[in-house]
Amino acid sequence: MGKKSLLATRLLCWCSLVVVVFLLLLLTAPALALPLCTDSRAPVALNGTLSFCGGNGGTSCCGAAADAALRKQFEAMNVSDAACAGVVKSVLCAKCNPYSAELFNSSSKIRTVPVLCNGLSSASSAQSKDSTQNYCKLVWETCKNVTILDSPFQLPLQGGAGLPSSSSKLTDVWQSESDFCTSFGGSSDNQSVCLNGNEVSFSSTEPSPTSKGICLERIGNGSYLNMAPHPDGSNRVFLSSQAGKIWLATVPEQGSGGILQLDEASPFLDLSDEVHFDSQFGLMGIAFHPKFATNGRFFVSYNCDRTQSPNCAGRCSCNSDINCDPSKLGTDNGAQPCQYQVVVSEYSAKVSSSNVSEATSANPSELRRIFTMGLPYTAHHGGQILFGPTDGYMYLMMGDGGNKGDPFNFSQNKKSLLGKIMRLDVDGVQSKSQIANLSLWGNYSIPKDNPFTDDSDLQPEIWALGLRNPWRCSFDSDRPSYFYCADVGQDLYEEVDLISKGGNYGWRAYEGPYIYHPEWSPGGNTSLNSINAIFPVMGYNHSALNKNIGSASITGGFVYRGSSDPCLYGRYLYADLYASAMWTGTETPASSGNYTSTLVPFSCSKNSPIPCESASGSTLPSLGYIFSFGEDNNKDVFLLAYKGVYRVVRPSLCGYTCPTEKPATNNGTSPSGSSSLASGKRIGKLALVMAFVLCALCF
């Protein structure tokens, strides 16, 4: 082939590559927002009006000190033009906006200016093109010829820093409005929120059609407490029982008529000799290291009895560091204080080659004891563990330790780890002397950006506080900043919280949205004015359920990202333990952090591989108890119930109507793309593969 022919071929390939990448960009879903500040904390309620940035009522990311600092910065700019001064003030005060984390977010640089609504936004950003969407143009037209000292509108250097400048006009730096808005406008970053003056503009993306009901199929008879998808991306999952065993199972394709495939007699790991199993105790959580595919590391959270196991020897959570005397706790159901303990241990897959995916069992010996802590009472200890999808740290959910009303107020005690969500670095190995010197509860290290860096009263392990008994938390796989935790209530209310850095979720000053009045409080009370409580985004009153069934108790779920039921897409699913009710939570409007919960019916598919049982006197299937939800690598959602494993399937199989459901394929499954967003992501991945193939063929 001649040089000209080779050049032409390569040029053609480059053109094809550009087209493929363009398709990829078109099909990529925009990021979605959450009320969150630039320091990853939730905004707090204002008691009054900020003297500079205003904001009477509502929430803000600024206190008086931050507001004063912004005033000082503004005054130093010496903006002589009144109209431009007003615009610059709005831009500076965006730091106080409850959505400032998203407004100033950028994967490529640190923004000194928030995303300005741009009338030239692409269609994929779903921003309406009214006057508020041209705020970037307004900023340009108002300030382009005005001198601004230490202007924030500087050409960013690589790494995010602006050019040093004593004074400048916009026209000194930018040649045109187009150049200016390419850098600061909403279209360049495809944001879901942008600044339109003193307010933010949300994405106008329409939610999926309302679900008429949730259709389930029963694919297993076993009773499990945890499910984790195999990190290799296959159709396998790990299931664990409360009694202490973990199995590796294969999930059948939807519509195949198959059931879960696992060998009950050959568990992946059997810890039943180590685990103390009772109604409130057992193997509570499993989590696989983000690099499990190469290192084979995984972690188990369970309870032990110090009277039965010499390895069950952690410090008591009631100790002098938190002004607690174990002798004053008394016994609970015959158990001494801190007889039962919560443990997080590290194990490894047993492999004979470098391919961890081939492992069908684990090494039975513990590699490392990550965490051990004695529990004051016999209930409310959570125990779930998760790895953050973006930071790679372990999150450990811990309840208040039990007894009605958290009498010793552990949840609000910043020195206690009870009633908290902890964030631990399990990649940092510590020596025994380091563990002792740092007063750690095991072999882990503290992430440097944990909230204690801003609040010296807070124990370093703590990420969030004010929880009663967090029962099943999850990250939204499409929006990892959305961290949902269901928290079991006391007498009145079951709640779902959106967890943020340093957030205080109120217990026991509040039970959900209600002020809580403890019957007994030897540990003292917390003043309502002393905390900035973050209230639930979803939940339900106990009075909303049938009292004949039992006390209400929430089971947290997942944001549905599967393709079988497009009417559930993007909605958070949660249920009551007693299997009498299930809800969907919808963010309204999208990206606002405001939710509407809907009680939805559910039933069993006529094609269920294992027939479902019927509940006497009810149209609902008999599930027994809904212990947990699960999610596999296909983003299908499962219910882990007393009477088996159930999967969410196409709504038409139960007679429910979803206008966007597509006809089933030959094997009875929904075709890829039942959700347009899910379809876009799959096609986007295909486009990326095509791009690499083109490069390989051409070069």
pLDDT at 324: 95
Q: Average pLDDT, stretch 271-296?
A: 96
Q: Would you call 635 helix, strand, or coil by DSSP?
A: coil
CB 379 within 8 A of CB 284: no
Instruction: Please give the mean pLDDT across all residues of the chain.
Output: 86
Q: Average pLDDT, stretch 659-675?
A: 67
pLDDT at 189: 41
Q: Average pLDDT, stretch 452-471?
A: 96
pLDDT at 3: 43
Q: Average pLDDT, stretch 302-312?
A: 95
CB 299 within 8 A of CB 347: yes
- Indicate the range of 181-195, 467-481, 612-626 predicted with least confidence: 181-195
pLDDT at 570: 94
Residue 161 has pLDDT above 60, yes or no: no
The DSSP symbol for 653 reads G
CA-CA distance, 463 to 451, in Å (whole number)?
A: 6
Residue 503 has pLDDT above 90, yes or no: yes
**Spatial strand order in the sheet of 470-475:** 470-475, 483-487, 493-498, 538-541
pLDDT at 186: 75
Condensed to tens digits (0 to 9), the pLDDT of residues 379-426 reads 999 999 999 999 999 999 999 999 999 999 999 999 999 999 999 999
In 3D, which of 113, 198, 118 has the Cα closest to residue 153? Answer: 113
Q: What architecture (CATH level 2) is domain 214-674?
A: 6 Propeller (2.120)
pLDDT band at 583 (very low <50, low <70, confident <90, very high): very high
CB 623 within 8 A of CB 646: yes
Residue 465 has pLDDT above 70, yes or no: yes
pLDDT at 10: 45
pLDDT at 262: 97
Q: Is the dihedral of CA 163, 164, 170, 171 positive or negative?
A: negative
pLDDT band at 7 (very low <50, low <70, confident <90, very high): very low
pLDDT at 109: 53
CA dihedral 505, 511, 513, 519 (to 10 degrees): -130
Q: Average pLDDT, stretch 152-175?
A: 68
Q: Average pLDDT, stretch 345-371?
A: 94
CB 128 within 8 A of CB 33: no
Residues 6+ apart with CB under 8 A from 461: 417, 420, 422, 423, 424, 441, 446, 450
* Burial (0-12, 13-18, 19+ Cβ within 10 Å), 250: middle
DSSP E strand boundaries for 439-500:
462-465, 470-475, 483-487, 493-498
What percent of the chain has pLDDT above 70? 83
pLDDT band at 671 (very low <50, low <70, confident <90, very high): low
pLDDT at 103: 87
What percent of the chain has pLDDT above 90? 68
pLDDT at 669: 62
Residues 6+ apart with CB under 8 A from 198: 54, 90, 93
CA-CA distance, 345 to 339, in Å (whole number)?
A: 18
Domain boundaries, the chain: 32-202, 214-674
Residue 475 has pLDDT above 80, yes or no: yes
pLDDT at 639: 98
pLDDT band at 205 (very low <50, low <70, confident <90, very high): low
Condensed to tens digits (0 to 9), the pLDDT of residues 121-148 reads 433 333 333 444 689 999 999 999 999 9
- Indicate the range of 44-48, 59-63, 215-219, 564-568 predicted with least confidence: 44-48
pLDDT at 122: 38
pLDDT at 670: 60
CB 661 within 8 A of CB 567: yes
Q: Average pLDDT, stretch 533-560?
A: 87
Condensed to tens digits (0 to 9), the pLDDT of residues 321-344 reads 999 999 999 999 999 999 999 999
CB 430 within 8 A of CB 438: yes
CA-CA distance, 87 to 148, in Å (whole number)?
A: 12
CB 509 within 8 A of CB 526: yes
Residue 514: what are its φ and ψ, rounded to 5°? -100, 145
Q: Count CB atoms within 10 A of the CB of residue 163.
A: 11
pLDDT winner (highest mean) among 273-287, 546-560, 673-687: 273-287
Q: Would you call 215 helix, strand, or coil by DSSP?
A: strand
- Indicate the range of 1-10, 533-542, 549-558 predicted with least confidence: 1-10
